[in-house]
Amino acid sequence: MRLVGPSGEQVGIVPLAKALELAQEYDLDLVEVAATARPPVCKLMDYGKFKYESAMKAREARKNQAHTVIKEMKLRPKIDPHDYDTKKGHVVRFLKQGDKVKITIMFRGREQSRPELGYRLLQRLAEDVQDLGFVESNPKQDGRNMIMVLGPHKKKTEAMAEAREAQAARKAERQGLTADAPEQSAEEPAEA
């Protein structure tokens, strides 16, 4: 078998008995790296440490992984301006967090004969949030509903990183404020 040493150096082609002897001498494990190669490739390593490090890398990768989430916001064609602003605020928050937003306009009764009202409302919303997101799916009539999907300009991982940085900055600022606060001695009474 072809043997690779503990620091990655090539030992050469050695018999199995010699490789096991070297593994015992270095107090390491003999691990088969490439079984299909001719001759098979083995490496001297601490297998427990290798497994632990690979598990930690996988855990770190999962931590930084972003799950694609589609948030949904439902509107009506005759929405009040204040309600529209509130719903738009939610859409802005979702897009800042890096989530996609599905906007649904629900039509009832006679409203179904006026789909242009819903279309204009969706276009207005898309224009209001164009600095944070883009129209991923144009407005489409789907039975009694009209649907549009907005996608964020930022990726979810970028948004998560910015949120962590902002949180760390707020925490540092809070700690800085508590450290700068003058301490009162036990003898001086606090003013009421």
**Which token pair is 89?**
């605020």
Cα angle, residue 134 at apex, residues 133 and 139 outer, rounded to 5° = 125
Q: How many residues does the chain have?
A: 192
Query: What domains can you pick out in the chain, each with its CATH number?
Result: 2-53 (3.10.20.80), 70-152 (3.30.110.10)
CA distance 129 to 137: 15
**Which token pair is 13?**
């082609």
Return the percentage of the chain with pLDDT > 90, whole number. 35
What is the tens place of the pLDDT at every residue in 142-183? 889 999 999 998 777 787 788 888 888 988 888 887 665 555
Q: What is the pTM of this model?
A: 0.56
